[in-house]
Chains A and B, each alone.
Chain A
Amino acid sequence: MYALNEGAIPVVNAASADGVYSLLWLVVALPLAGATILLVGGRYTDKWGHLLGTLLPIGSFLVSLVLFFDLLGRDEGDRQVSQHVFTWFQTGHLDVGMDLLYDPLSALFLLLITGVGSLIHVYSIGYMAHDLRRRRFFGYLNLFVAAMLMLVLSENYLGLFLGWEGVGLASYLLIGFWQHKPSAAAAGKKAFVINRVGDMGISTSIMMFFALFGSTSFTVISEKAANASETQLTILGLLLLLGACAKSAQFPLQAWLLDAMEGPTPVSALIHAATMVTAGVYLIVRSNFIFEAAPHAQTAVVVVALISILWGAAIGCAKDDIKKGLAGSTMSQIGYMMLGAGLGAAGYAFAIFHLLTHGFFKANMFLGAGSVMHGMNDDVDMRHYGALRKMMPVTFLTFAMGYLAIIGFPGFSGFWSKDKIIETALADNWLVGICAIIGAGITGFYMTRMMLMTFFGDDRRWEKDVHPHESPSVMTVPLVVLAALSVLGGVMLAGDWIQDFLAPVVGTGAHEDPPLPALAVTVIVVLVVASGVAVAWLLFGRREVPRTAPQDVSFVTRAAREELYGNQINDGLVVNPGRHLVGGLLTIDKHVVDGTFTGGPVSLGTLAGFARRAQNGFVRTYALSLLGGVLIVVLALLAVNLA
């Protein structure tokens, strides 16, 4: 059994892949093949592209499922399998292999990515049915799935970075998929640029890994991490956190996520809710051997997490755009995962647990929002919705399951996962715990607001010519499956299964007793959530919702509508100074640098203008100068000879 954690880090000791595990590379290769065929094949694949693009991730899912059950059959100490696919590059002392690592952590991610991913592919068949570029959309989705699988399967940081950049590229392509809209093109660019900031962190940490440990392999680094000084590990931890912040839309690099909602809704569900934005949490949990030895970096993770929980929740309360409301909620929920990851060995398993349940219920709600938009002529303003529960019963019921899960209604998946994180946080530090509980209360508020504005009330707020209707079954079936997962996801906690399952990767934390008994914490959380729900009902359920957003609102509401001025802060601190800097450099370049280089030739040219006057065309002048020259030469010779 693994030592109860005293800074003890489980060393990866992987068996090489044989038997069914030799199929591991297929998990990545299938969607990659799909992306290649659809994107290279071009128009020839238009007719069946979406079907192929859906079948391949399902194939990946089946392989993942087989591997998962085989892994369950193994001994606990035996559950790490690595596969050497090929040597990526080899130069001097550096030897970077394309190695895959299949362990309990990546096993869960594989199921989440391929499972939820496949459902969203199926849903997209219906959602994108009328889009002329549907085949290209599926190509991009497959590219995303392949990159995300590479990210979680790689055995070294360099391979992880490959996947990391791959999902960033796919995210960029898909946010800007409707590129004819300038807002979508700008949103894609914004996401890409902000993610570059995080990539600086990751690439710098990879350079440090090479410098300190001579390798980026998890196995090597987890063995050698103890040799590095705490300062070095803290710097590494902070760099990794920077990368995680950008990818997971955590404070201070959160501004891109709300704009990213310009992409098609399945993209928001798959990339910006269920999988890609949780890559930051994966990175921190996977790097536990660094964070365990760098307490300051862990504190930084917790602080970032708390700010993001409350920041995202505030945004969620004020947005009338249903997708942006959900995006704020995503930021907040990822904050909970980061919080769990920042709490150390006691919280890693719960962070992953919440990541999985969030993947289910948030994907469910995003797809539900897509279904609502599908029925409302692509209108996203919740103030134009209302009373949709009668028109879209399936969407309503499935969305309600996601809603109950996210607010933490007792028994639903989100209840178990969020409760565990809050308990761990309270045991660690009561202030952190209280912030997390407040966040849960606000979650109850904004999700109830969304629910009431969309599905309850009356139809007086609808736009003219809107005929809400239920979506086709190709879209509702994935919703039903995800709703079932949202309800039942909590079974992973039964008998502490998920902690035991993940123990070989992240260790188990010494159980600290919270200041209150666990049951009391649960009751308090449920009561806080219930009061949030009640406030929302008083404001949006009992009273009529105005069709346009009221303008005479408090400073807090205005700030929340402006996303707490995140964009303005970025503009003021980075973008405008950067613009001025570049403008100044441009002026210097034009006048000083260019002046220096063109000044020489120009003055030479002027001089030559005077000198060429000597060529006046008169033969006799030339003869005179010839004579003068000869005289000078003769005099010079005489002078030399006589001297």
Chain B
Amino acid sequence: MDVTAYVVLSGILFTIGCVGVLIRRNAIVVFMCVELMLNASNLALVAFARQHGNLDGQIAAFFVMVVAAAEVVVGLAIIMTIFRTRRSASVDDASLLKY
């Protein structure tokens, strides 16, 4: 089966996510872009699994989802805490941990 279209879509989604992470300041948006990247990679995994005709890639996609869920829990908690103390969700404001 030809999976080219899926892989191209996955690449476009990943690039959007990646650019979003790099240029947006709002932590929530950055977070959503990270999720976008994760799902783009999931799409690539599933597409290649279909091409190879086995389930390895699909299993890996489940793992990514579990990790993403855990990451959302921790990440949102951190973002909330920062927002409570600094009244801002900008990732550039939280830059105290440096040289």
Q: Which residues of A contact B (CB under 8 A)?
A: 612-613, 615-620, 623-624, 627
Contacts and interface: CB of A to CB of B under 8 A. Distances in A.
Contacts of A612: 99
A616 B21 contact: no
A618 B94 CA distance: 8
Nearest to B94: A619
Given A623-B21, A624-B22, A627-B22, A617 B91 contact: no
Nearest to A630: B18
Contacts of B92: 618-620
B22 A620 contact: yes
Contact of B99 (A613, A619, A623, A624): A613
B18 A627 contact: yes
B3 to A, nearest CB: 20
- For the complex of A and B, the 5 pairs showing the least CB-CB separation, nearest first, are A617-B98, A617-B95, A612-B99, A615-B99, A619-B91
Contacts of A623: 21-22
B91 A616 contact: no
B73 interface: no
B96 interface: yes
A616 B91 CA distance: 13
Secondary structure of the B contact surface, majority rule: loop
Nearest to A618: B95
Interface in B56-99: 91-92, 94-99
Nearest to B18: A627
Interface in B17-37: 18, 21-23, 30
Contacts of B22: 620, 623-624, 627
A287 B60 CA distance: 96
Interface of B: 18, 21-23, 30, 91-92, 94-99
Nearest to A627: B18
A624 B91 CA distance: 14
Given A613-B99, A620-B21, A623-B21, 13 more contacts: A615-B98, A617-B95, A617-B96, A618-B92, A618-B95, A619-B30, A619-B92, A620-B22, A620-B23, A620-B91, A623-B22, A624-B22, A627-B18
B98 A616 contact: yes
Nearest to B23: A620
Contacts of B97: 617
Nearest to B24: A620
Contacts of B99: 612-613, 615-617
Contacts of A613: 99
A436 to B, nearest CB: 86
* Residue among A616, A619, A624 with most chain B CB within 10 A: A619
Contacts of A616: 95, 98-99
A627 B18 CA distance: 9
Contacts of B98: 615-617
Contacts of B94: 619
Contacts of A615: 98-99
Contacts of B23: 620
Contacts of A627: 18, 22
Contacts of B91: 618-620
Contacts of A617: 95-99
Contacts of A618: 91-92, 95
A634 to B, nearest CB: 12
26 contacts: A613-B99, A615-B98, A615-B99, A616-B99, A617-B95, A617-B96, A617-B97, A617-B98, A617-B99, A618-B91, A618-B92, A619-B30, A619-B91, A619-B92, A619-B94, A619-B95, A620-B21, A620-B22, A620-B23, A620-B91, A620-B92, A623-B21, A623-B22, A624-B22, A627-B18, A627-B22
A624 to B, nearest CB: 6
A77 B21 CA distance: 111
A149 B92 CA distance: 89
A174 B98 CA distance: 68
Contacts of A624: 22
Nearest to B34: A623
Nearest to B19: A627
A287 B23 CA distance: 97
B79 to A, nearest CB: 12
Contacts of B30: 619
A396 B96 CA distance: 96
A613 B98 CA distance: 8
B25 to A, nearest CB: 8
Nearest to A616: B98
Nearest to B91: A619
Contacts of B96: 617
Nearest to A624: B22
Nearest to B98: A617
Nearest to A609: B99
A103 to B, nearest CB: 84
B61 to A, nearest CB: 20
A615 B22 CA distance: 17
A263 B51 CA distance: 106
A306 B58 CA distance: 110
A624 B18 CA distance: 9
A619 B78 CA distance: 14
A612 B98 CA distance: 9
B96 to A, nearest CB: 6
A362 B96 CA distance: 88
A624 B22 CA distance: 7
A617 B95 CA distance: 4
A615 B98 CA distance: 5
Nearest to A615: B99
